[in-house]
């Protein structure tokens, strides 16, 4: 595996002139060459452009600093986030031939911060999946164990960072799509409060849930990328109108910090080793660990999937072959639509569009979609109650470590249930982070998930940074 | 052409119930949810961007001015403006709808519960709701292909929906015309039907008179003129009455108006049975308004046509003249200009609404083509009032001004139209008239004093209508009494 | 009625062509998935999750974007997008 230092370490090395951007890109290129044939983390690579930009930065002597905190840092972008003049496939046949005409706000901000865009990473088609097996470009394998999945849907972003194919990556998280692959690959995945990071240019899957997330080696790296991409954006009307809080990352945990472990999550775990791995670091720490009940999390997958599928059925209606992407022409328009879409979308996307359409259709909307909205509000209220007792909530990121390829693909409901711990924070619009537990299970990483009240992103990162050191 | 405006004889036993949905294009510079310029006549697909084309990853941004115009229209229509309204997605597949859904307002519209009074009908039509939404693109059809232009896609619309309060074609027509006037007076919309700024979709049902329950509705789309609206409603009502009389069941149907054949074409049932799957637009938070903003807009509303009409009728204008002014902003502007220039309402009404309007009507010209500027018509009125012109001479002068576009005083001199009050000339003329009409003079002396009018007429004739009538009359009386 | 039986209608509404085999397979899966989702109905919950901040409003100032449709599609004619005839 890669010997590449973390983003924050590299930034320091670059600043001190002990490393060059060109050298980082060269190392990344070597890692890609060695791992990509097996891992399949990238859909598109821009190595030559990355090299050219690195050379330019080196020649001009641009180093990471106030203006350009990410100068010379190679970053991978999940291929459902638009980069101008590059294809944006969403790992779907329906977008064949499509080239984005603009930069997503997060990409624009990364570029302005001096980051080098290495390539676009593989994902479950339109970010729908938990294993990265639903890709028109083939599955992603876990660099730590090629028999296992890298997680999903941001499997490519996680795998690329894990094997050193990028220093950091952007993923997206709708119900766990950044946190879960980060956990499976032994990385940090941070989902900001809904509204903290602009979604402009993130191809919509479920608009009320989607967030762009950093996937990095350390919490400090995640905080650095987050502080570049976060903040209000006039192009996204759902971004929170004020600037994010300042952060102060220290190694010490504040004495007496109250952490609640979510009873239902631990009760339902089949593998006690996962629960031990998640809880152990806290036992010796100076935190007050208490049990907190959030009973509604048990049905979070039902609530999450209904909302997400309904919104997906709406968001994916635009892929009709009229203006861009795939078109399979038939004599009539309606047939052209149905054949284009029927052949352009893979099984999982088709399944979700169908169920989502059903959940919104006349006669069913109240029993399904509206019921899920009421569930969502009630779940958020339960979280609010819980946060009256504790500062942070604790759970595993996923019920198991990375599972094997093919293990769940034939059983959609089983696959959905692997989001059971990540879906609640997404539904309640809360910030949540997955960090690797110090202990492994069967040699595989396990994710610790910490959740904070809404807009407490900075506090959550500060705490996670300290926990990472335990 | 058949007698399309009257219903069959037996139809007096039935009542027609009409509700109207109007889509008015809001007069903004940019689109509802992106900043593309509103310019539907630009070459195809040149006023488009990733947002209105529905490219992957884009998000909408609500146009401030469209919201303000919507509030303006709502207040003018007496609606309650909701302090919190929400956006929704309405789903259907159509090649002119790039996202596969239209962003509109559904559960909580911008405004509700208004009404519009129909002029001269003593009737109010209740308005159920007014909401904002985006327009679709345009389709150009041929037998070989259909072409799509998205320049219009995303243009802001206000949808204004009535309660089913309208009971006749005439009321529907009056409602639409009054609504158009209001929107124009507010500057909310150009509201030109032929250019698609103002589109009407009526729904029509009929029921036997005295019945409470509403009948099954027919809806009509693609009506692009007032005439088409009238004909379409008439036809739909006629058909329904016919079916009811034959005891047929009426099926809810949406029709397309065929402008060429001037008839209704039912859409396929499948197209009608839409399931729009409305749900709250997750990309736009609810629209929250401040009372103070609404008050500010309320205070800025101009005088509305109905109030103007009342004021003008109250100010000695005939109902007909008031209607012209209320209906036609150009005429109203000209009229007000005359008043500002010192003309009385009576004078302005006579010389603008009767004389000038008559001249233009004869020439089939519009006021825009009228060559007489406001100040020149005002000066003609002044010349008349100051006794420099007789009435007939003033009419002649106005016609000449309309021909040549010259000033009133200049042209009066040029055409020698100034009043004749010169004693000598009047005396000469009067003597001649008396000499030429001995019979009349004899009758005058026998006490038929009203014959003086006839003699005055002769004088006028000789002086081409320019004789000062008062001076000429006095001269005649003086000479007649002398010759006694 | 269940989703399994509704599959044909829903696929039509969503403009997705399914083979007979797919209809059968998806139909069977849906029965199971939707039954699981339906558990939410037993909770009898109330409420609405609010974003907590209002819709921003953008000034009405036109901007030229000048997107090249040639880069999006090859189905073009005279600057229009071309599709199969709607009125045959």
Confidence of residue B270 (pLDDT cuts 50, 70, 90): low
Q: Which chains touch A (3 or more CB pairs under 8 A)?
A: B, C
A323 touches chain B (CB under 8 A): yes
Confidence of residue B242 (pLDDT cuts 50, 70, 90): confident
Average pLDDT, chain B: 88
State which residue of chain B sits closest to A206, comparing Cα positions: B282
Cα distance between residue A169 and residue A212, in whole Å: 10
Confidence of residue B11 (pLDDT cuts 50, 70, 90): low
Residues of A catalogued as catalytic: 78, 153, 177
- Compute the average pLDDT of residues A102-123: 98
pLDDT attached to residue A355: 95
pLDDT attached to residue C2: 57
Confidence of residue B66 (pLDDT cuts 50, 70, 90): very high
Higher pLDDT residue, B233 or B458?
A: B233
B43 touches chain A (CB under 8 A): no
A415 touches chain B (CB under 8 A): no
pLDDT attached to residue B2: 40
Choose among A136, A222, A209: nearest CA to A182: A222
A169-211 per-position pLDDT tens digit: 999 999 999 999 999 999 999 999 999 999 999 999 999 999 9
Burial (CB count <10 Å: 0-12, 13-18, 19+), residue C51: middle
pLDDT attached to residue A142: 98
Closest approach of chain B CAs to the CA of A176, in angstroms?
19
CB contacts < 8 A, A to B, total: 94
* pLDDT higher than threshold 70 for residue B6: no
Q: Cβ B61–C56 below 8 Å, yes or no?
A: yes
pLDDT attached to residue B5: 46
pLDDT attached to residue B1: 36
Higher pLDDT residue, A4 or A278?
A: A278
Q: Cβ B53–C55 below 8 Å, yes or no?
A: no
- Is the sign of the CA dihedral A357, A358, A361, A366 positive or negative? negative
Closest CB to A199 among B59, B98, B100: B59
Average pLDDT, chain A: 96
- Compute the average pLDDT of residues B69-91: 97
* pLDDT higher than threshold 90 for residue B366: no
pLDDT attached to residue A226: 98
Q: Cβ C29–A412 below 8 Å, yes or no?
A: yes
Q: Which residues of A touch B277 (CB under 8 A)?
A: 313-314, 357, 360-362, 365
Q: Which chains touch B (3 or more CB pairs under 8 A)?
A: A, C
Confidence of residue A405 (pLDDT cuts 50, 70, 90): very high
* pLDDT higher than threshold 90 for residue B426: no
pLDDT attached to residue A181: 98
Confidence of residue A53 (pLDDT cuts 50, 70, 90): very high
- Compute the average pLDDT of residues C55-81: 93
Closest approach of chain A CAs to the CA of C12, in angstroms?
8
Q: Cβ B287–C55 below 8 Å, yes or no?
A: yes
Distance set, CA A427 to CA A253, B50, B182 (Å): 28, 29, 46
pLDDT attached to residue B230: 93
Closest CB to A353 among C14, C43, C69: C14
pLDDT attached to residue B268: 66
Q: Cβ C83–B50 below 8 Å, yes or no?
A: no
Maximum Cα–Cα distance across chain A: 71
Most confident residue range from A229-243, B263-277, B313-327, B461-475: A229-243
Q: What is the pTM of this model?
A: 0.88
SS3 A437: coil
């Amino acid at each position: 595996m890669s010997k590449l230092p973390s983003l924050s370490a590299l930034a320091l090395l670059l600043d001190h002139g002990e490393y060059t951007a060109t050298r980082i890109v060269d190392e990344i290129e070597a890692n890609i060459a060695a791992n990509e044939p097996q891992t399949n983390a990238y859909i598109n690579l821009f190595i030559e452009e990355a090299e050219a930009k690195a050379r330019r930065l080196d020649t001009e002597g641009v180093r990471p600093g106030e203006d350009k905190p990410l100068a010379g840092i190679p970053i991978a972008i999940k291929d459902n986030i638009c980069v101008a003049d590059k294809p944006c496939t969403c790992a779907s046949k329906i977008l064949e031939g499509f080239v984005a005409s603009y930069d997503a706000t997060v990409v624009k901000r990364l570029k302005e911060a001096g980051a080098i865009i290495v390539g676009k990473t593989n994902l479950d088609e339109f970010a729908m999946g938990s294993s990265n097996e639903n890709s028109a470009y083939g599955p992603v394998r876990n660099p730590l164990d090629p028999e296992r999945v890298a997680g999903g849907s941001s499997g490519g972003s996680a795998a690329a960072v894990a094997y050193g194919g990028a220093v950091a990556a952007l993923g997206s998280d709708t119900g766990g799509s950044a946190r879960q692959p980060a956990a499976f690959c032994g990385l940090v995945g941070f989902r900001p409060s809904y509204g903290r990071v602009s979604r402009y240019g993130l191809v919509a899957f479920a608009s009320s849930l989607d967030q762009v997330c950093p996937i990095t080696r350390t919490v400090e790296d995640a905080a650095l990328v987050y502080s570049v991409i976060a903040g209000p954006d006039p192009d996204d009307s759902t971004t929170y109108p004020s600037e994010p809080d300042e952060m102060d990352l220290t190694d010490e945990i504040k004495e007496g910090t109250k952490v609640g472990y979510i009873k239902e999550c631990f009760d339902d775990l089949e593998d006690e080793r996962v629960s031990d791995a998640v809880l152990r670091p806290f036992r010796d720490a100076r935190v007050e660990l208490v049990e907190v009940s959030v009973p509604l999390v048990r049905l979070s997958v039902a609530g999450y999937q209904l909302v997400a599928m309904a919104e997906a059925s709406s968001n994916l209606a635009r892929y009709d072959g009229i203006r861009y992407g795939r078109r399979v022409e038939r004599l009539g328009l309606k047939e052209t639509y149905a054949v284009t879409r029927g052949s352009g979308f893979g099984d999982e996307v088709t399944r979700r569009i169908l169920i989502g359409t059903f959940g919104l259709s006349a006669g069913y909307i109240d029993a399904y979609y509206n019921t899920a909205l009421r569930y969502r509000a009630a779940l958020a209220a339960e979280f609010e109650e819980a946060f009256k007792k504790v500062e942070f909530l604790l759970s595993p990121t996923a019920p198991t470590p990375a599972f094997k390829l093919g293990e769940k693909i034939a059983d959609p409901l089983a696959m959905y249930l692997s989001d059971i711990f990540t879906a609640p924070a997404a539904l309640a619009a809360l910030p949540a982070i997955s960090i690797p537990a110090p202990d492994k299970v069967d040699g595989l990483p396990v994710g610790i998930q910490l959740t904070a009240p809404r807009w407490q992103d900075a506090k959550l990162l500060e705490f996670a940074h300290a926990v990472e050191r335990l | 052409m058949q007698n399309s405006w009257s219903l069959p004889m037996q139809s007096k036993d039935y009542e027609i119930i009409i509700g109207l949905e109007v889509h008015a294009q809001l007069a903004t510079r940019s689109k509802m949810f992106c900043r593309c310029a509103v310019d539907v006549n630009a070459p195809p697909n040149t006023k488009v961007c990733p947002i209105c084309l529905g490219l992957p990853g884009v998000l909408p941004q609500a146009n401030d001015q469209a919201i303000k115009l919507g509030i303006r229209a709502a207040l003018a229509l007496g609606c309650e403006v909701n302090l919190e309204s929400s956006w929704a997605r309405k789903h259907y597949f159509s090649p002119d709808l790039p996202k596969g859904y239209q962003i509109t307002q559904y559960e909580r519209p911008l405004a509700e519960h208004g009404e519009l009074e129909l002029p001269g009908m003593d009737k109010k039509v209740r308005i159920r709701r007014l909401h904002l939404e985006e327009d679709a693109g345009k389709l150009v059809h041929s037998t070989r292909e259909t072409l799509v232009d998205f320049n219009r896609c995303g243009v802001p619309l206000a949808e204004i929906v009535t309660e089913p309060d309208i009971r006749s074609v005439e009321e529907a027509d009056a409602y639409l015309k009054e609504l158009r006037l209001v929107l124009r007076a507010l500057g909310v919309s150009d509201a030109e039907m032929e250019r698609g700024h103002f589109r009407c979709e009526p729904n029509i049902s009929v029921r036997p008179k005295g019945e409470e329950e509403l009948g099954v509705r027919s809806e009509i789309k693609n009506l692009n003129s007032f005439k088409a609206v009238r004909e379409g409603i008439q036809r739909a009502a006629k058909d329904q009455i016919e079916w009811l009389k034959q005891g047929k069941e009426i099926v809810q149907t949406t029709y397309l108006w065929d402008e060429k054949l001037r008839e209704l074409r039912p859409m396929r049932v499948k197209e009608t049975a839409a399931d729009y799957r409305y749900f709250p637009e997750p990309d736009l938070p609810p629209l929250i308004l401040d009372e103070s903003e609404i008050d500010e807009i309320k205070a800025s509303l101009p005088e509305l046509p109905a109030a103007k009409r009342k004021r003008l009728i109250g100010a000695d204008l005939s109902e007909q003249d008031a209607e012209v002014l209320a209906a036609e902003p150009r005429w109203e502007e000209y009229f007000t200009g005359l008043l500002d220039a010192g003309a009385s309402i009576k004078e302005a009404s006579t010389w603008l609404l009767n004389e000038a309007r008559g001249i233009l009507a004869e020439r089939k010209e519009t006021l825009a083509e009228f060559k007489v500027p406001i100040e020149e018509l005002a000066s003609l009125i002044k010349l008349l009032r100051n006794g420099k012109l007789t009435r007939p001479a003033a009419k002649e002068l106005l016609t000449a001004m309309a021909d040549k576009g010259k000033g009133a005083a200049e042209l009066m001199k040029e055409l020698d139209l100034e009043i004749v009050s010169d004693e000598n000339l009047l005396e000469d003329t009067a003597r001649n008239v008396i000499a030429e009409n001995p019979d009349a003079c004899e009758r005058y002396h026998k006490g038929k004093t009203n014959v003086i009018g006839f003699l005055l007429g002769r004088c006028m004739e000789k002086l081409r209508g320019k004789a000062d009538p008062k001076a000429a009359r006095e001269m005649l009386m003086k000479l007649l009494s002398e010759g006694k | 009625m269940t989703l399994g039986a509704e599959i044909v209608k829903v696929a039509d509404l969503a403009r997705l062509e399914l083979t007979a085999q797919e209809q059968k397979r998806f139909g069977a899966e849906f029965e199971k998935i939707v039954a699981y989702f339906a558990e939410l109905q037993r909770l009898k919950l109330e409420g609405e999750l609010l974003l907590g901040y209002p819709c921003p409003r953008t000034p009405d100032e036109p901007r030229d974007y000048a997107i090249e449709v040639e880069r999006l599609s090859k189905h073009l004619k005279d600057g229009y997008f071309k599709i199969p005839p709607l009125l045959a």
